[in-house]
């Protein structure tokens, strides 16, 4: 068993055995279901398809869930001193980071999959024309887009949990980085340079989910999220290595 | 053989270790003692690769931790001062997790865990949750973690602090047994207790080694008096923030 697998297993068990996993996921499912129903009512009779509404109802809550799930990954280890034992073990920092990141992603993937319960429960009650537009492949594409975003938020949250001993501080930092910062940058760019709207069209994150759900795949979007994820994870392992420099 | 040469480390402007040089051969149990803030924990944290020295070198059987960190860490067992553990796990689960994390093959894990639990007197507690253990048993589990992969160098930060006589004896016996195949370096203030197992004492003050005594060169009571007199005369330094 590799260090990544061992770390992943321990973290997944920790998520399952404590409130740090189950309570946030339950809250996430509740708000996603509520948002889905609200959006469905608001867009009644519009051209929006069910998978798009589902995707758009889940995406805004992903940064919050990822911030709550990842906040304890390293900050708890730092607060308890367990990080010393991990760093003194014969494993690479990156293995530790990947194992913990994958554990958060596992919970995220399960939570997003469970959020499909809302459309699954409501769909039979909808009219026949709406039901006719539902395709499994479209839901799969939306799920992939949501996971793509979740992977970036989780990587950012994992990186920030290395910086803080306090879990709440790590969660707030992740929220600012994942939700506040992109919106603020987008608003500032558009305010200062309105003509740049076309160049920064990737900024509205909900649009990516909507595009994927309607079959509009973009390699630019894929590489944006993949690059951000790799950068955050790389930064995370380097920050972990830097802990050795300052103790 | 653990060799430390001209080790220097500073927290900002304050020197925590200043030109520290010594070595520990397999079979030796070297105690580093001194007042609070003398640099004992800093020294062990550098040896455990949790801090990086400013200057100087470390070698464990010729392996430099800066050049080959994974290989070096495979050769050390480290017990932290505060002995952190995952409280939601049982004793056996925790040690199994640690053995797997350290890269042991699946087939050997159970045997290694079983042997180490018995060696540290934790056989009867193997299914107990860690949060229910007393401080003494937690220290034993921390020691079991350090010992489990049969390291070449055992680094124990204050292993006897806050323990009652039975736990101190148990830990001393386990450390003595482990020293047959490892170089052991431990820190602490409990001179009398450390005398039970140690073969050499180094006194650290303000980051410098100011005295070294071999246990065989003096009677235990004479050495104990000597150490206590010397320690009483030392002022120590500031604890790192």
Let me know: does B186 contact B198? Beta carbons within 8 Å.
yes
ipTM of the complex: 0.88
Are the beta carbons of B52 and A7 separated by less than 8 Å?
Answer: no
The DSSP result for B125-161, as a single string, is: GTTSBGGGS-HHHHHHHHHHHHHTT--SEEEESSTTT
Q: What is the pLDDT of residue A238?
A: 92
If 0-12 CB within 10 Å is exposed, 13-18 middle and 19+ buried, where does residue A231 land? middle
- Answer whether B157 touches A (CB < 8 Å): no
Which of B34, B4, B27, B31 minimizes the C-alpha distance to B156?
A: B31
Say whether pLDDT at A207 is over 60: yes
Which of B5, B47, B8, B45 minimizes the C-alpha distance to B208?
A: B8
Q: What average pLDDT does chain B have? A: 87
Are the beta carbons of A90 and B103 separated by less than 8 Å?
Answer: yes
Percent of chain B at pLDDT above 70?
97
Instruction: Tell me the nearest-neighbour CA distance from A100 into chain B, angstroms.
Output: 13
The distance of Cα A174 from the centroid of its chain, to the nearest Å, equals 11
- Considering only CA atoms, give the Rg of chain A: 19
Residues A129-141: what's their mean pLDDT?
Answer: 75
Q: How many CB pairs under 8 A join A and B?
A: 69
Are the beta carbons of B76 and A88 separated by less than 8 Å?
Answer: yes
Q: Compute, in degrees rounded to 10, the torsion defined by CA atoms A245, B4, B7, B11.
A: 40
- Answer whether B52 touches A (CB < 8 Å): yes
Say whether pLDDT at B190 is over 90: no
Are the beta carbons of A3 and B103 separated by less than 8 Å?
Answer: yes
**Tens-digit pLDDT profile for residues B112-169:** 899 899 888 888 888 999 999 998 899 999 999 999 999 999 999 988 888 888 888 8
Say whether pLDDT at B211 is over 90: no
**Phi, psi (rounded to 5 degrees) for B88:** -80, -10
Q: Would you state the structure tokens that stand for residue B32, as one six-digit string?
A: 């580093």
Q: What average pLDDT does chain A have? A: 85
**Tens-digit pLDDT profile for residues A84-132:** 999 999 999 999 999 999 999 999 999 999 998 888 888 777 666 666 6
Q: Would you state the structure tokens that stand for residue A229, as one six-digit string?
A: 């994820």
Which of A80, A32, A72 minimizes the C-alpha distance to A56?
A: A32
The structure tokens 């004479």 sit at B222
Q: What is the pLDDT of residue A157?
A: 92
Q: What is the pLDDT of residue A235?
A: 94
If 0-12 CB within 10 Å is exposed, 13-18 middle and 19+ buried, where does residue B178 land? buried
| pTM assigned to the model | 0.88
Indicate which of B84, B88, B105, B141 best probes the interface with A, i.e. most A CBs within 10 Å of its own CB: B84
């Amino acid at each position: 068993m590799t260090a990544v697998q061992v770390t992943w297993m321990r973290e997944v068990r920790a998520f399952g055995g404590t409130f740090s996993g189950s309570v946030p996921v339950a809250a996430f499912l509740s708000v996603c279901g509520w948002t889905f129903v609200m959006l469905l009512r608001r867009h009644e009779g519009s051209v929006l398809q069910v998978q798009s509404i589902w995707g758009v109802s889940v995406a805004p809550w992903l940064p919050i869930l990822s911030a709550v799930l990842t906040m304890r990954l390293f900050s708890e280890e730092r607060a308890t001193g367990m990080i010393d034992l991990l760093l003194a073990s014969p494993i690479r920092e990156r293995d530790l980071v990947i194992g913990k990141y994958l554990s958060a992603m596992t919970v995220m993937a399960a939570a997003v999959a469970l959020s499909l319960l809302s459309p699954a429960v409501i769909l039979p009650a909808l009219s026949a024309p709406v039901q006719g537009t539902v395709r499994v492949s479209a839901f799969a594409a939306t799920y992939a887009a949501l996971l793509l975003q979740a992977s970036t938020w989780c990587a950012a949250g994992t990186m920030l949990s290395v910086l803080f001993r306090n879990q709440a501080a790590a969660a707030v930092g992740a929220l600012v980085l994942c939700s506040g910062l992109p919106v603020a940058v987008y608003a500032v760019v558009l305010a200062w340079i309105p003509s740049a709207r076309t160049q920064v069209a990737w900024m509205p994150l909900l649009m990516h989910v909507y595009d994927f759900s309607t079959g509009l795949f973009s390699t630019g979007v894929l590489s944006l999220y993949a690059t951000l994820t790799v950068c955050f994870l790389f930064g995370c392992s380097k920050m972990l290595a830097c802990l050795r420099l300052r103790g | 053989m653990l060799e430390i040469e001209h080790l220097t480390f500073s927290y900002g402007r304050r020197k925590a270790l200043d030109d520290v040089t010594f070595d520990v051969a397999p079979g030796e149990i070297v105690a580093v003692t001194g007042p609070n803030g003398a640099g004992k924990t800093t020294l062990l944290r550098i040896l455990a690769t949790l801090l990086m020295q400013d200057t100087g070198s470390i070698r464990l059987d010729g392996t430099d931790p800066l050049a080959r960190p994974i290989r070096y860490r495979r050769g050390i067992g480290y017990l932290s001062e505060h002995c952190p553990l995952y409280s939601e796990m049982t004793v056996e689960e925790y040690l199994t997790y640690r053995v797997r994390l350290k890269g042991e093959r699946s087939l050997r894990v159970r045997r290694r865990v079983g042997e180490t639990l018995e060696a540290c007197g934790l056989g009867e507690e193997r299914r107990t949750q860690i949060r229910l253990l007393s401080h003494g048993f937690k220290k034993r589990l921390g020691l079991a973690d350090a010992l489990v992969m049969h390291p070449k160098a055992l680094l124990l930060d204050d292993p006897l602090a806050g323990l009652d006589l039975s736990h101190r004896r148990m830990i001393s016996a386990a450390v003595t047994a482990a020293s047959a195949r490892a170089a052991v370096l431990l820190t602490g203030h409990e001179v009398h207790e450390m005398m039970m197992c140690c073969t050499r004492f180094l006194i650290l003050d303000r980051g410098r080694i100011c005295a070294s005594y071999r246990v065989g060169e003096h009677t235990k009571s004479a050495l104990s008096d000597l150490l206590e007199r010397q320690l009483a005369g030392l002022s120590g330094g500031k604890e790192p923030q």
